[in-house]
Structure 1
Amino acid sequence: MVVMNPRTLLISLSLLSCLSACGGPGDSAKVPVAEPAEASSADIGNYVVHFSAQSTDQLPPTVAREYNIVRSKNRAMLNISVIRKSDNTPVTANVAVNTVNLTGQLKNISMRKIEEPGEIVAIYYVGDTTVANREVLVFDLSVKPDGEEDISELRFQRQFYTD
């Protein structure tokens, strides 16, 4: 049995979510035209912000249990990390998220910090919310690394398939 550390597993699942976003409509639904892959990171000066959003049912049960995340096709998880470019280390940041769907409905996502001990401490900010089939969520992120004065604003969107 192969056991992956949770940090590697979360990164792998984030990459998997990018791949899985391509499929999912039911048999009677029209298959959407493929769109170019969206960025999953942004350069904000001395830092890089990595972000992903995926259905929580893609999380292995052990990871979901460890981080108190409900596994469901109808729940989406947002995962954010901030890395200092000079030494490629994770940093603590003030992370705020405003999320809406395409009809303007506000989706409440409370972000919480997760730290994983190790040679280099991994730092993540995660939160989750409900989603409907084919719902598109627009994530507006405000990120301010500790010790910095500037706040960086980022936006990305993801579509979720629950059927």
Structure 2
Amino acid sequence: MWRTGIAMAAVAFSVAAVAEQSKTFGDYVVHYNAFNSSSLSPEIAKRYGLIRGANQGVVNIVVLNKGDGGDKAAVAKVEGSVRNLLSQRANLNFKEVRDGEAIYYLAGYRFDDQDTLVFDLQLTPEGANPLQLEFNQLMHVH
């Protein structure tokens, strides 16, 4: 089910080394990761409209509804921004990607080497209250 979609996304993105993180909000589990887009193949970057480069990153969000006895991909409105430790902020423009039963949200951003970035996100699953997610990621130029 959703695990297949996440597995396919991970294979497609060729980012097996990227650690996936998650946070539970009641009936919802949000999986998230941020990584250097240079790990994407040129074909995958083009397919998803992402900029591939040494100082370009991608944030990947998956929202799952674990209610009704199983994990099911949830449609959500995903908004947010990313900022560095100097409080320089950029808005993130998420694109919804559907791969079979999997639904994930992708946004690109620029960073400097060894930037610690803070992602401030608001996710609103259909028919649910907004969920606030904040996480940090240390980024390296490849």
Judge same fold: TM > 0.5, yes or no: yes
Matching residue of 1:83: 64
| Cα shift at 1:14 | 5.2
Matching residue of 1:11: 10
Three-state SS of the structure 2 residue aligned to 1:64 is helix
Higher Rg of the two aligned structures: 1
Q: Would the alpha carbon gap of residues 72 and 124 (structure 1) be closer, same or farther in structure 2, given more than 3 Å must change? A: same
Query: Unpaired segments of 5 or more residues in structure 1?
Result: 19-38
| Letter of the structure 2 residue corresponding to residue 131 of structure 1 | F
Match of 1:129 among 109, 113, 120: 109
* 2:127 equivalent to 1:144: no
1:39-54 matches, cutoff 5 A: 40-54=21-35
| Cα shift at 1:10 | 2.7
- C-alpha offsets along residues 80-124 of structure 1, whole Å, 9 cap, x if unaligned? 0101113211010111112110000012321111112x3xx2111
| Letter of the structure 2 residue corresponding to residue 161 of structure 1 | H
Query: Unpaired segments of 5 or more residues in structure 2?
Result: none
Three-state SS of the structure 2 residue aligned to 1:143 is strand
* 2:137 equivalent to 1:158: yes
Matches of 1:47 and 1:6 in 2, distance apart? 17
Match of 2:85 among 88, 97, 102: 102
State the TM-score, normalizing by the size of structure 2.
0.85
Checking the alignment, whether the CA contact within 8 Å between 2:15 and 2:40 is kept in structure 1 is: no
Matching residue of 1:111: 94
| Letter of the structure 1 residue corresponding to residue 18 of structure 2 | S
Checking the alignment, whether the CA contact within 8 Å between 1:40 and 1:51 is kept in structure 2 is: yes
State the TM-score, normalizing by the size of structure 1.
0.75
Percent identity between the two aligned chains = 27
What RMSD, in angstroms, separates the aligned Cα atoms of the two structures? 2.0
Q: Would the alpha carbon gap of residues 15 and 45 (structure 1) be closer, same or farther in structure 2, given more than 3 Å must change? A: farther
Matches of 1:10 and 1:159 in 2, distance apart? 22
Q: Would the alpha carbon gap of residues 40 and 76 (structure 1) be closer, same or farther in structure 2, given more than 3 Å must change? A: same
